[in-house]
Structure 1
Amino acid sequence: MTESNKPQVRFITVDSEDAGQRIDNFLLKTLKGVPKSMIYKLLRKGEIRVNKKRCKPEYKLVNEDILRIAPIRVSENTNTVSTQLNVVANLEKQILFEDDRLIVINKPSGMAVHGGSGLSFGLIEALRALRPEARMLELVHRLDRDTSGCLVVAKKRSALRNLHEQLRNKKVQKFYHALVKGRWSAKLTKVTESLKKNDLKSGERVVIVDNINGKESETRYKVLQHFQGATLVRAFPVTGRTHQIRVHCQCKGHPIASDAKYGHPDFDADMKAKGLKRLFLHAASIEFTHPLTEQRLKIEAPLEPSLEKLLKQLKQEQ
């Protein structure tokens, strides 16, 4: 190992963004790739100190605290990132908005928002590889793996807290575009069936309509274009239940094209023959108040070319 690659002592001065959080949580985010067990061991042995003193994992950081972190050598497992370098590079082109508080990205279909459930690599890991200098990158909300479109990632804890509060208070507006089976009636503007999660024996999770035991749910719809055998709709989820838009479309007899869980086999086969290789559900826009400037932002994500191409193939109807 060359001198320049040797682990060095690190000093970090805590700012108001990080004040108030436990040191173990702060270190887990700051020392990327360092196992949790090692962080506790380093704290226990005094290898990590605050203002030259030892501290316990539950210590809450104070503004202007100075952390001294002894040299840490981690066996870097870069395989998961290196095998996905093309994915990481492509993500740079998908960034719709970025400043020192947040990133809004047009998430590709087929990419999980984070690793887990058998996946070692997700969008948040890719973004961290793309922005190694970022002290913090955390998802503000989620999108299903097969759904594309607007996804917000916070770069500061204050932005994350602010946006979570906006989500709780329903100050964030998310609009989706979906291609559904059949002719959706312009009069059907609201679906309010309650939804319940069901875990199957296989471990797969499906969501069903259950107006007795399910959670209250509401999605508002607007017809954008009728096609022969299909309709392009805009969906606005008032609540944020798992698979909400997909199940609300299905329960009204209009499942979304190429939905592996809730789709219609004949409709899906027809769309596949026309070149559709993914779920036709896209988070087309998101609107929220910027955490710092307090300006209202509306960010739009264009449909990927394959979806645009499919729509051009379909025969429009009035």
Structure 2
Amino acid sequence: MQTVTSHDAPHGVRQVQVGPERDGQRIDNALLTLLKGVPKSMIYRLLRTGQVRVNGKRAKPDTRLAEGDMLRIPPVRVAERPADQGPPEGMVAELAETVIFEDRHFVVIDKPAGIASHGGSGVSHGAIELMRAARPNEHLELVHRLDRDTSGVLVFARTRAGLTGLQEEIRANTVTKQYLCLMVGHPSKAKFDVNAPLAKSVLQGGERMVRVADNGKPSLTFFREMEQYPGARLMQATLGTGRTHQIRVHAQHIGHPLAGDAKYGDREANKRFKAWGLNRLFLHASHMSFEVGGRAYSFSAPLPQDLKNFLDVLATKGPVGRLRGD
């Protein structure tokens, strides 16, 4: 959105032109983000009393905005908040360098491990906050998430059409997501599926855990061996469903947890791998493809250097099997 005119008073009426990122959005949802800190009840009261107008006409909560509309926002007083110092400039610059693709609808990065997808739960600044700081004149929304310790392809939407279009594809389960992961031990087959329902629970300390449970949501992962290493196998995991911690819990369920997984992994194996240079979860979002608005998108991110270095060390610990090309 772009503020076109405003009164001199700090809390005066604003005239805002609707940008492409709000095209098709309900006005009540748009106001919730435009008027951060304003209670929902006040926003609906402003709409009910006709103080919010679109192109000079009174708007209802379910009014849909269109690009180019002129939105009148009345004076609203919000309780003063401490000034947000914003994320460190070094982190912003570093993440800005990870962009691997962008067009009118999307910006895609190769997210480093150690950065959460978004802030919260003790994390001040996640990838979305850092990207917004790097591009203050753009409207960016997080479309999906990666765990903090997982690296790889992460997509942000620049437009409303991109956001809702990709979210619909994700809900319809038509998005291809592939990961590279290192399994502890030697699975008996080179190709296999894990079809086990998953249920989320929250422990007493607030930690989120996922487990295989009969009453859980249907969950399916396709595993395929890529390379053999002493005491481990590099696997490609393709999601059949997109549940929280799905690959990690399915790997644990079959007795071959992921290397470096502090939550679901093998403690002794993790200690051994850490001594050899693995300092995080070995899970990387290597590929994502989908179709939105009649256009096919496909993004890939190579295995990060720290994981490559660890595999080189691991290969010296014993005879290495051949690379499987089938």
Flag the 1:147–1:17 CA change in 2: closer, same or farther, 3 A. closer
Structure 1 residues 17 and 120: alpha-carbon distance in aligned structure 2, compared to 1, 3 A threshold: closer
Name the CA distance, whole Å, in 1 between partners of 2:251 and 2:203.
Answer: 21
> Residue 195 and residue 228 in structure 1: after superposition, are their counterparts in 2 closer, same or farther (change >3 A)?
same
Q: 1:104 maps to what in 2?
A: 108
Q: What is the identity percentage for the equivalent residue pairs of Structure 1 and Structure 2?
A: 45
What residue identity is the alignment partner of 2:224?
K
Q: Is the 8 A contact 2:180 2:236 kept in 1?
A: yes
- CA contact 1:43–1:55 (8 Å) conserved in 2: no
Q: Deviations over 1:38-66 (max 9, x none)?
A: 98499489886543566566654356431
Determine the structure 2 residue equivalent to 1:286.
Answer: 288
The answer to whether 1:255 aligns with 2:261 is no
Query: Which residues of structure 1 form unaligned runs of 5+?
Result: 1-5
Identify the match of residue 119 of structure 1 among 116, 120, 123.
123
Query: Is the contact between residue 25 and residue 160 of structure 2 (CA under 8 Å) also seen in structure 1?
Result: no
Whole-angstrom distance in 2 between the partners of 1:295 and 1:41: 37
Root-mean-square deviation over aligned CA pairs: 2.9
Query: Structure 1 residues 57 and 296, CA, compared in 2 at 3 Å: closer, same or farther?
Result: closer
Contact in 1 for aligned 2:102/2:108 (Cα 8 Å): yes
Q: 1:51 aligns with which of 55, 58, 71?
A: 55
Cα gap change, 1:16/1:302 in structure 2, threshold over 3 Å: closer, same or farther? Answer: closer
Deviation at 1:75, TM superposition (A): 6.2
- Within 5 A, what are the aligned runs for 1:19-34? 19-30=23-34, 34=36
Give distance in 1, aligned partners of 2:20 and 2:289.
27
Asked if the contact 1:175–1:234 (Cα under 8 Å) also holds between the matched residues in 2, the reply is yes
Partner letter of residue 77 of structure 1?
A
SS at match of 2:174: coil
* Equivalent AA in structure 2 for residue 199 of structure 1: V
Sort the Cα spacing of 1:196 and 1:41 in 2 relative to 1 into closer, same or farther, 3 A. Answer: closer
Q: Give the whole-Å Cα distance in 1 for the aligned partners of 2:246 and 2:31.
A: 36
2:28–2:44 CA contact under 8 A, matched in 1: no
**Structure 2: any 5+ residue segments left out of the alignment?**
1-8, 322-326
Q: Please point out which of 160, 165, 172 is paired with 1:162.
A: 165
Q: Which residue of 1 aligns with 2:238?
A: 236
| CA-CA distance at 1:219 after TM superposition | 0.4
Q: How many residues align?
A: 306
Deviation, 1:205, is: 1.6
In 1, distance between residues paired with 2:20 and 2:129?
A: 26
Q: Supply the distance in 1 between the matched residues of 2:100 and 2:14 (Cα, whole angstroms).
A: 34
265, 272, 280: which one aligns with 1:270: 272
